[in-house]
Structure 1
């Protein structure tokens, strides 16, 4: 009788241990990677729990394939350098350029499309059709930022008067004080920064030209320094595709539009602003 009882106890313990192992094995197998980026509201935001709309997109896409994501916040140039050297697995919100191709795997689909416009002081009667129309203007741009191939070429050759400064906030302050004439920036980021960091009076001085300077796709970059990262990118592509097919991706952007409508007062630019957000879920192919 005692032998039967003991055998029963052992069986229960064995079953319990088996169930426990089944519970912990998935957790042990889950992988955590680190991506580097800088604050760029509303796309990336260190202070928010989900770290901004694009960080949330990336987190959910990787979660679909059992991978956790930690975010490391550093200046953009350092984020790219860290990923290039393999100090982190990757970085995101970068254009696809020939200079970056040897060092990174790019996601199959872009994370988002940027629509860059020229912000300017309302007192400036500003209009343009091509970059050749801008030779008379003082143009401000953040240090290290890439606007377009032709913009970079004109800057290098001195065709345009481009002055570089450490941050967007400094550039907006200079616009308000008429120390620069125009400033190229993503329309969503620009108005987010104005509303978060400037007074209502200061914001009244700034507007933007409706013609986009460029509309380009931004990608997730995974470092080629580790051969295993090729599989990591393939897993992200799978998770991202599932996220779009499920409708989660579109819903995230719809929520962003709803939240932005509560914050922003951009009058005549509302149509462009909303269209940029609305069109992003259907972006499929890279554009120059």
Structure 2
């Protein structure tokens, strides 16, 4: 009965709007989304929508740009977006995250292990990314440097321009191995558990329906065992640290 209700919901949505969507994907978060927009997050989004008969047209731009384009209604949605007070007020979300992972503090190996941020810390962050409500409440205590790529964060750490950078662990592992920096930069404590979503535009009438369809698609992938295989998939020889809970 449950599966029948799901199929009826999908059929109803097919009748009410076009089944092609324009979705923005960032270009600098491998192995989740690389410079071509390809990666684990993209695989999940495209396949989840395919489960419910929705075709996806991806538009690859920097993260901050896809966020603005979605706000203006130029795109139906964008990913990988973390939910916090700000994004919850600006976008529409479903209940199913695309991925769940962790983001941690990264610093030079010859520096003390980083347990948490301290007042006055020089912190390297991604431009436009969200780092949690607690971070936002205390951000005036830190000296932020915002950059456009994960690689730039690691280079700032390497040159001792900042005390610490915050990176998702899967992406950090990818870049540290690629840049051969595993003996120079190390991981400290976890900053937070990171859930990233597809954020839908508030200016689009069909956003609530799209969010529901994406949830159904992700659940279908999980029921079939496809979701876990996508998370553990290797991209260009690099292993992801993404995991489900």
Kindly report structure 1 stretches of 4+ aligned residues shifted beyond 4 Å.
Answer: none
Distance in 1 (alpha carbons) for counterparts of 2:79 and 2:214: 13
**Structure 1 unaligned blocks of 5 or more:** 1-25, 265-272, 283-288
Map 1:157-236 onto structure 2 (within 5 A). 159-196=141-178, 198=179, 200=180, 202-209=181-188, 211-236=189-214
Displacement of 1:226 in angstroms is: 1.8
Q: What are the Cα deviations for residues 178-207 of structure 1, in whole angstroms up to 9, with x where unaligned?
A: 2212111111111212333x2x3x442111
Equivalent runs, 1:274-285 vs 2, <5 Å: 274=241, 277-278=242-243, 280=244, 282=245
What is residue 64 of structure 2 aligned with on the other side? 77
Question: Could you tell me whether the CA contact under 8 Å between 2:157 and 2:163 is conserved in 1?
Answer: yes
- Map 1:1-288 → 2, pairs under 5 A: 31-39=19-27, 40-47=29-36, 51-128=38-115, 130-131=116-117, 134-135=118-119, 137-156=121-140, 159-196=141-178, 198=179, 200=180, 202-209=181-188, 211-256=189-234, 263=238, 274=241, 277-278=242-243, 280=244, 282=245
TM-score when normalising by structure 1: 0.72
Structure 1 residue 46, shift from structure 2 partner: 4.3
Q: Larger Rg: 1 or 2?
A: 1
Is the CA contact 1:103–1:225 (under 8 Å) kept in the aligned structure 2? no
Name the one with the larger strand percent.
2
Structure with bigger helix share is 1
Q: CA deviation at 1:127?
A: 3.5
Structure 2 Cα separation of the partners of residues 100 and 62 of structure 1: 22
* Runs (5+) with no aligned partner, structure 2: 1-13
For 2:89 and 2:160, the matched residues in 1 are separated by 41
Deviation at 1:100, TM superposition (A): 2.6
The two structures have a TM-score, normalised by structure 2, of 0.83
Q: How many residue pairs align between the two structures?
A: 229
CA RMSD of aligned residues (A): 2.4
Inter-partner Cα distance in structure 2 for 1:192 and 1:236: 27
